[in-house]
Structure 1
Amino acid sequence: MNSHATSHRGTGPEPHPFAGSRPPAGGTVRRTLLRTALTGAAALGAGLGVARTATAAPTDSRPAEPRPGTPEQAWRELAAGNRRWRAFRERHPHENPAMRRTLATAQHPFAVVLGCIDSRVPPELVFDQGLGDLMTVRTAGEVLDEAVLGSVAYGVLELGIPLIVVLGHQSCGAVRAAVSAEQSGERLPAHMQYLVDQISPAIDHGREGDARIDATVSANVRLVHSRLAAEPELAAMIGNGRLAIIGARYELTTQAVHRLA
């Protein structure tokens, strides 16, 4: 279909209201064990990560700043990164040897980005983030399935990530295919029909041609956003201010990300 851990954080003038802030992460023994097993973030490893971060400053011209810990802080960082991207002032952060060594022991991403597989919309680039900053999940048309839901839930429930961004984009080939299939009545080969079936409820029937496709791109982002927000454990975290889900789209013509939901 067409269609990164301490860090330096940008700031910007684009505040977005969120209810509350994320309290210190709790969790059951099960989650503690799972988090340790899957990330390698045992207490010793985490301690080494802190020590290495402290010694990494001489190799980086920018002072270390805390990782965004609330949904609002996380969105502001992403928005600032996108401003750098579209102004051709990218920093390409967190790629130096010291950071790579630190990330061998633990990861602390601050956002999950569920985006499309389109080669023109890599989240780490369009948000100017680096290693250990984002947990990205990419499927054609941001389509959900059990593996995607489990991946998103892992980032939020086990790693304490405070923000999920559903990122659609202009001229999405998966959306175009869904619109075309509905109009023609033809079924797509292999597993691609699954994508069409998932996107079809978002098709905008009040428009025609390219306008229908463009409107459906936005409607599909909102649909995926609503489906994620309806997941019980995610909904509970949204309710107490520990998590936000944002729907957004990326414009290929301007390189700008703007919020939809």
Structure 2
Amino acid sequence: MEPEPRPNTPVAALTELLAGNDRFVTGRRVHPHQDAHYRASLAAEQRPFAVVFGCSDSRLAAEMIFDRGLGDLFVVRTAGHILGAEVRASIEYGVSVLGAALVVVLGHDSCGAVKAAHDVLAGDTALAGELTPIVERVVPNVRFAHRQGVTDPDRVAEIHVRRTIETLLTGDSATTRAVAEGRCAVVGMSYRLAEGRVSVLGADPLAEDRLDAA
């Protein structure tokens, strides 16, 4: 059995992810691409349609919340979705080598990394131990949010996602070139732990294109 055609445009990829999340939320999951035949068809090559860069939180399993299967998503995860050199290179691989049409930066409410950074800035705790590199990378974005008058932890987490995207798109890279050429898009999403729902942050950058494709 040959792999099924994959979404090959940013609009199609985003539409597929949002449809999968809706199935997850409403209990209509179809668990695609998880059978033995499809597994065998992917042995020689992977062609994921999206890169999902998210937090390592155990409640944020991308294939589950988007109701996807083997070979669909190229998933990169770090605590607090911290964007280091290895992570950036992994995302670049997903876009430039695997040809993903969409990059999602996925945050969530009740984020422990954001809370830890907030506590450090409030003087309630001090940087210590092996968690320091994580908190240090989140602190500037939490400080930025505070300067904008945003202190609600979940809204701060959303700003952290947006700032992560800004960092990702800084400089010349395969991802920035693919975005400029329209072959790929980068969107931020926030996941609500209790509801299971993802939402696109800010104005949906592909809303007009999705309307035209409907």
Specify the TM-score bucket, using the shorter chain as the normaliser: 0.7 to 0.9
Is residue 80–residue 111 contact of structure 2 (8 Å, CA) maintained in 1? yes
Partner of 1:116: 55
Deviation string 1:219-252 (CA, Å, 9 cap, x unpaired) is: 1000101111224122221111011000110011
Matched, 1:228 2:168: yes
Alpha-carbon distance between aligned partners in 2 of 1:157 and 1:177, rounded to the nearest angstrom? 34
Partner of 1:77: 16
Alpha-carbon distance between aligned partners in 1 of 2:72 and 2:199, rounded to the nearest angstrom? 20
Is residue 150–residue 156 contact of structure 2 (8 Å, CA) maintained in 1? no
Partner of 2:194: 253
Alpha-carbon distance between aligned partners in 1 of 2:139 and 2:198, rounded to the nearest angstrom? 24
Q: How big is the shift at 1:186?
A: 4.2
Equivalent residue pairs, number: 197
Instruction: Select which of 94, 110, 115 maps to 1:171.
Output: 110
Is residue 94–residue 100 contact of structure 2 (8 Å, CA) maintained in 1? yes
Which runs of structure 2 are paired with 1:1-261 in the superposition (5 Å)?
A: 52-53=1-2, 64=4, 66-184=5-123, 186-203=125-142, 204-205=145-146, 206-208=149-151, 211=152, 213-233=153-173, 234-261=175-202
Unaligned runs of 5+ in 2: 203-214
SS at match of 2:76: strand
Q: How big is the shift at 1:137?
A: 0.5
Alpha-carbon distance between aligned partners in 2 of 1:185 and 1:237, rounded to the nearest angstrom? 43
Unaligned runs of 5+ in 1: 1-51, 55-63
Q: How big is the shift at 1:191?
A: 3.0
Is residue 187–residue 193 contact of structure 1 (8 Å, CA) maintained in 2? no
Alpha-carbon distance between aligned partners in 2 of 1:231 and 1:164, rounded to the nearest angstrom? 17
Identity in percent: 41
Deviation string 1:164-184 (CA, Å, 9 cap, x unpaired) is: 000000111111111111111
Q: How big is the shift at 1:187?
A: 3.4
Question: What is the identity, as a one-letter code, of the residue corresponding to 1:196?
Answer: V
Partner of 2:212: none
Superposed structure 1 runs of 4+ greater than 2 Å apart: 185-191
Deviates more, 1:199-208 or 1:83-92: 199-208
Is residue 94–residue 130 contact of structure 1 (8 Å, CA) maintained in 2? yes
Alpha-carbon distance between aligned partners in 2 of 1:255 and 1:231, rounded to the nearest angstrom? 34
* TM superposition score normalised by structure 2: 0.88
Alpha-carbon distance between aligned partners in 2 of 1:117 and 1:191, rounded to the nearest angstrom? 16
SS at match of 2:122: helix
Is residue 114–residue 138 contact of structure 1 (8 Å, CA) maintained in 2? yes
* TM superposition score normalised by structure 1: 0.72
Q: How big is the shift at 1:185?
A: 6.6
Question: What is the identity, as a one-letter code, of the residue corresponding to 1:236?
Answer: R
Is residue 91–residue 128 contact of structure 1 (8 Å, CA) maintained in 2? yes
Is residue 84–residue 128 contact of structure 1 (8 Å, CA) maintained in 2? yes
Question: What is the identity, as a one-letter code, of the residue corresponding to 2:29?
Answer: E
Alpha-carbon distance between aligned partners in 2 of 1:91 and 1:231, rounded to the nearest angstrom? 40
Q: How big is the shift at 1:74?
A: 0.3
Question: What is the identity, as a one-letter code, of the residue corresponding to 2:178?
Answer: M
